[in-house]
Structure 1
Amino acid sequence: MVVAAGAAVAVRAGFLPLGASCRDDAVRLDVAAAPSVTPALKDAADHVRDRDITSDGHCMDIRVAAREPYEVADEIRRDSAKATYDVWVPDSQVWVQRAGIGGNQARVSPAGNVASSPIGVGMLESAARELGWPRKTYTWSRLAGVPAREDAPRLGAADPARSASGLLALTRLGASARASGAEDADTRAAATAKALASRTSDSDSGLLDTLARDSSGAERGSPRRNEALILSEQASFTHNASADEEHELDLFYPKDGSPALDYPYTLIRENDLSTDESRAALRFMAFFGERAGLRILAEHGLRTRDGARPSAELVTAAGGRTPQPYAREPDEAPSDKDVQEALGMWTITVQSARLITVVDASDSMRRLVPGRGESRMDVTKAALLQALAGFTDDDEIGLWEFAARLDGARDHRELVPTGRLGDRKGDGTQRDRLTKAFGALRPVPGGATGLYDTTLAAYEKAHEGYAPGRFNTLVLLTDGVNQDPGSISRSGLISRLRALADPEKPFPIIAIAVGPDADEREADQIARATGGSGHEVDDPAQIHSVILKAIVQAGARQ
């Protein structure tokens, strides 16, 4: 009786098969999954169907389709109501974060994680041996060639805007460069991103196609072929499973820590799911903690979600060997701020930027920032200098300042004409001139905020100088509302900006309202007239991060 009662409970909980009869009222679930985890999920769905594993007595009809996570994230961000799937399993939490950036409130409910896979650098055997693999270990920045070395293997990566492996590695590369303690760490990180940008692929699968086909002959010397790739352990495992010995990858696990793909399991529009659908979705996720589910994950080169030490068989098949630190716990997932900064740096690095910075120099900028003992202007200057370090010599940047009647009857003055940062003129470069000009910014005693006329004049001039192939934007920083009664009206300004905006030549304004006196709603209205966005910061030190976040948002809309 005890055994029978236990079996009945197990059946109701969905842990034992009931036979073909349960299929008459099977619960259907549609799952969109990252391509790297789709084969494992399909095998799991087949196992669940073939064994008649149930949820609350109902069979589960689970249909899995491969979808690129960046596409799904953008789709959900625009309108989650149009989603045709019940469950989404991207390869990283970063896509769940991205699904909630701007736009409509995303209706995504994280329920857990199904697997994990650390990210490393896979190399052809000849390149790996030259670098001392497996006994010699490297930091991320050294593996990526920072500082650059002539003997560094050509390193390829998937586009960080489309690949979690590429994005997480880019984030870690920046952290590694900063951890080196070098004063020019941010510039070095940007230089690394620039070098990677010339060797990126649209997808993780496309990246593997860039490997030199002859690891010891002429193809290894081909500039179009990569000798090393940033990729996940699972991707290296899958590649090695079908590659001959000459083309297998050896895998470096950087000693300063590897980020990991974490395969979050999320429910889409959970409130719209029936009770049976919701419970079936959770039952399917629970399967990956059972023996059969764990076996399927291992067969596809995926580590389990419980953080257990990886099996030697999996690591060896992926190209790992001791003493590479493959058993080290993966790094914690990067923060939203870290991801936004990495993506923003990538956007301006890949496209190169043409950016005009317009800074409020009104008297209110001399007010102290609470808790810092510095004025708004001092902290703003420091944030601008920090942002400047993230741009490359190919980027074009100019500087304006504004306050009512600053230059005769005009509210604005161009301090540094827009130019390429690496261009030299006289004793210094454009970067040197901007650094000096940022440092010399001072609030104008008694100066009011001449916001509207300045915005229109700066946008008109910036728009005239539109540079095709670059990320064009105007960054407007103000700590107050318009105080020039003789200027154009707000409605007049917005009307003129809309008339100037050209979808064929996107030139968004990034408007940043600094401090409690600024009007974020007004800043957003002005920016959105050009396809840009408005933001509010309590502390000017946040300006750098906000600029990069806004660049990501604007880039996603173009």
Structure 2
Amino acid sequence: MVRMQPSTDTAGIRTRAAARAQQRRRRSIILLSITGALVVALVVVLSVVFIRGAAGESGQPQEPAVAGDCLPASLDITADPVVAGALEAIVADMAGDRSDCPETTITTEDSAVTAAALAQGTALEFDVWVPDSSMWPARVSSQRELAGADAPELIVSDPIASTPVVFAATDPTARALGAEAGFASLAQGAVAAVLPDPSSASASAAALLALQTAVGGDARAFTGLVLGLDAEAVVPTTGDALAAASAAASPTVAITTEQALYADSDAAPLVPIYPVDVKPTVTVSLVTVADAAGDTLEAVDALTAAVADASDLLAEHGLRSASGAALTDGGSAPDAVTEPTDGANHAEALRTWEILTAPSRMLALNDVSGSMAQPATADMSRIDLFEQAAVRAIDSMSDESSLAIWVFSSRRNGGEDWQEIVPFGSLGDPAHKQLTIDTANSLDRFVGGGTGLYDSVLAAVKYMRETYVPGQVNLVLLNTDGYNEEDDGLDLPGLLAELEKLRDPSKPVAVIAIGYGPDTDQAALEEIAAATDGAAYQALQPTDIGTVLVDATTQRGCRPDCG
């Protein structure tokens, strides 16, 4: 017996999906007559894992399920809407006309919602989780490790289904792009793209990794592409992306999956374009816990075998089998689209996206020691050049970011080497942004004294840790032209030891250090940056100051591996 348990957040999705499924069932007679001779049933017989308790018994291999077979035990399944309909059909097909089968309850819930709950250590309310991508369990594991949440270990099966990432486009756009469309086309700006929010759309995370591959793994180039996206290029849902591509006046593609385009085939006249360079796909797996009961594992094995033998039912719901065989023999749909598929890599691409697009919370720690007054060019001092570069850097930051300005030299504020000049405020506030620009333009009035570097760095990192704001990139931007000249304070080993004590991977505060000119103790800056998982830059020539400062401000997502 199959019982579908609706999720409060996805009732509308399931209602529409059910209506479309009913329409597709009527069309599937023709479709299956074409595909029946081409799609070979894949039967994977897994060894049954019996109860490993006190009895210590070993079982026999589970035979593939056929019509009239029941799952050997009841299952509570939480499945993404993408795959829930197919699972329902497969379980119902197994039981056939029998009414005495153990009850299988399938609850639909978006994968991102389930993943967020599991990452926070929420108690499991299901036996099996079926997300729409293997990215989600990998994301749960990484987030749970950072948060230190106490939760059971997740076991991810081999893929049971798949769907390739495609560009959804109108016929005119598809014809204009021709046969050479790929992720390199997106990187080169040959066509506009609309991306569903990667935080909730697994296809977008896979596409981000493909885009990074298309630019040769160049983290700096990838970062520039992400930061250069228009506000309208990222939309909340896949449906929004498909609607935008359908209505666009200029050639535009929506990043989605073949399955999602199939599911919305009645809503928008779009066709899939299969990328010719990088060919990403998302894979569906069954997720259980390491200490699941033996009868649950036996039922999962039986379900796995049934799914492997139900490529026709998967196809009816727009999903390919795990092997990646195309749904039909027509058009340009390729078989075995299988790269890249690793869920951990997709999860890492999502993490990078979130870092890049999260608002910055930056404390600018600026050296105003006497050496900053030294000439840098025929008519400008070091501080003059820095002021100009600082204004450019401020203008490069988004309105969602916040900024504070400190200055430091030796004993400038009582017994302290550092002084707050501008407190934190949003750059979306015109008054605060103007205050930071005006202050950056007048830093020369603070110049004087020695370089109290180490104590100032520690004070800045401590302040950022004490006032840490989750969901933002909390960092210290250190600008200096010299080396530590404070004999009464911390030395470098002492600073590094204190920074190590403050390290907390769940609340990272990176120091991005920029040394100006040949007199900088660049080796010390590199050690400071490494101790905080930051990065160190150097501007050897006066003309480098502006380029380096803006680069350090914007290239935060790829640090410390920007290349």
Question: What is residue 357 of structure 2 aligned with on the other side?
Answer: 346
What is the CA distance between 1:517 and its match in structure 2? 3.0
AA at the equivalent of 2:197: D
SS of equivalent residue, structure 1 residue 230: strand
What is the CA distance between 1:335 and its match in structure 2? 5.8
User: 1:36 aligned to 2:82?
Assistant: yes
Which sections of structure 2, spanning at least 5 residues, go unmatched?
1-58, 369-389, 431-435, 444-449, 479-485, 512-527, 536-553
Counterpart-to-counterpart distance in 1, 2:164 and 2:172: 23
SS of equivalent residue, structure 1 residue 112: coil
CA distance 1:257–1:306, change in 2 (3 Å): same
Question: What is residue 284 of structure 2 aligned with on the other side?
Answer: 263
Greater CA drift, 296-305 or 10-19: 10-19
CA contact (8 A) 2:195 2:235 kept: yes
CA distance 1:125–1:326, change in 2 (3 Å): farther
Question: What is residue 412 of structure 1 aligned with on the other side?
Answer: 418
User: 1:355 aligned to 2:362?
Assistant: yes
CA contact (8 A) 1:11 1:18 kept: no
Provide Cα deviations, 1:369-408, integer angstroms capped at 9, x if missing partner. Answer: xxxxxxxxxxxxxxxx9xx99x766565566576884776
What is the CA distance between 1:227 and its match in structure 2? 4.8
Q: How many residues align?
A: 413
Aligned-CA RMSD value: 5.2
Question: What is residue 374 of structure 2 aligned with on the other side?
Answer: none
1:111-260 to 2 correspondence within 5 Å? Answer: 111-132=157-178, 136-142=179-185, 144=186, 146-148=187-189, 152=191, 155-177=193-215, 186-192=223-229, 195=230, 197-210=231-244, 212=246, 220-221=248-249, 227-240=252-265, 242=266, 247-260=268-281
SS of equivalent residue, structure 2 residue 358: helix
What is the CA distance between 1:453 and its match in structure 2? 4.5
Q: Which has the higher contact order (CA 8 A, sep 6+)?
A: 2
AA at the equivalent of 2:363: I
Provide Cα deviations, 1:126-184, integer angstroms capped at 9, x if missing partner. Answer: 2222223xxx2123142x3x4446xx45x3221111111122223333443456x7975
% identical aligned pairs: 19
Rg larger in 1 or in 2?
2
AA at the equivalent of 1:45: V
Question: What is residue 89 of structure 1 aligned with on the other side?
Answer: 130
Counterpart-to-counterpart distance in 2, 1:182 and 1:450: 31
Question: What is residue 46 of structure 1 aligned with on the other side?
Answer: 92
CA distance 1:12–1:165, change in 2 (3 Å): closer
CA contact (8 A) 2:352 2:558 kept: yes
TM-score (norm 2): 0.59
CA contact (8 A) 1:411 1:454 kept: no
SS of equivalent residue, structure 2 residue 322: coil
CA distance 1:405–1:117, change in 2 (3 Å): farther
Counterpart-to-counterpart distance in 1, 2:209 and 2:328: 28
CA distance 1:112–1:329, change in 2 (3 Å): closer
Which sections of structure 1, spanning at least 5 residues, go unmatched?
1-9, 213-218, 362-384, 424-428, 438-443, 488-512, 551-558
Question: What is residue 62 of structure 2 aligned with on the other side?
Answer: 13
Provide Cα deviations, 1:62-115, integer angstroms capped at 9, x if missing partner. Answer: 22222111100010011242x211111111222112212133144222122211
AA at the equivalent of 2:226: A
SS of equivalent residue, structure 1 residue 122: strand
AA at the equivalent of 1:249: L
SS of equivalent residue, structure 1 residue 198: helix
CA distance 1:173–1:395, change in 2 (3 Å): farther
Counterpart-to-counterpart distance in 1, 2:494 and 2:82: 43
CA distance 1:305–1:458, change in 2 (3 Å): closer
AA at the equivalent of 1:115: A
Q: 1:283 aligns with which of 296, 302, 308?
A: 302
CA contact (8 A) 2:280 2:338 kept: no
CA distance 1:411–1:515, change in 2 (3 Å): closer
Counterpart-to-counterpart distance in 2, 1:406 and 1:238: 66
Counterpart-to-counterpart distance in 2, 1:51 and 1:402: 79
AA at the equivalent of 2:322: R
CA contact (8 A) 1:34 1:89 kept: yes
Counterpart-to-counterpart distance in 2, 1:514 and 1:252: 58
Counterpart-to-counterpart distance in 1, 2:98 and 2:529: 57
